[in-house]
A = this chain, B = another copy of it.
Amino acid sequence: MGFWLRLAQQAAFEAFHRRMAPLGLTPGRMALLLLLEEGPDRRQAEIAEALRIKPSNLAVLAGGLEAEGLIRRVEDPRDRRAVRLRLTPAGRALLRRAKQQEAQVEADLAARLDPATRTMLLDALRRIAGA
């Protein structure tokens, strides 16, 4: 099972890369942008936990996106150690295009799966991940 998980994940990554590389997005970047659209102004520690990455790696990720003007770091006035992240208009515009492309990625991956199988697959993956 581990073997096929590896190959499937590899295929998923390649599908993502094919569609998203022109937009300069990796899976990690995309996940962060989506999270900020859904709920802005979260602290980085909270975001790292949601994305299941280390805060140190999120710092690098966020630094890159900020340098490209896609997100902003906002100092929390109540706790000046904390940094809250939000999308810039440029980030929002990019995300709009990215979401269309991402639908294509999902379609590529699920091309040979009927909808019911796809639903079961996602459920099974979540359960394995949470074990």
Task: List the interface of chain A (C-beta within 8 A of B).
Answer: 1-13, 15-16, 27, 31, 52, 105-106, 108-113, 117-118, 120-122, 124-131
Contact = CB atoms under 8 A, between A and B. Distances in A.
Nearest to A31: B3
8 contacts: A1-B122, A4-B125, A7-B126, A8-B129, A11-B130, A15-B131, A120-B124, A121-B124
Contact of A131 (B2, B11, B13, B129): B11
Instruction: State the majority secondary structure of interface residues on A.
Output: helix
A106 B16 contact: no
A3 B13 CA distance: 10
Copies in the complex: 2
A41 to B, nearest CB: 22
Q: Which 6 A-B pairs have the closest CB atoms?
A: A7-B129, A4-B125, A2-B12, A8-B125, A8-B128, A5-B9
A107 to B, nearest CB: 11
Nearest to A127: B112
A43 to B, nearest CB: 21
A125 B125 CA distance: 10
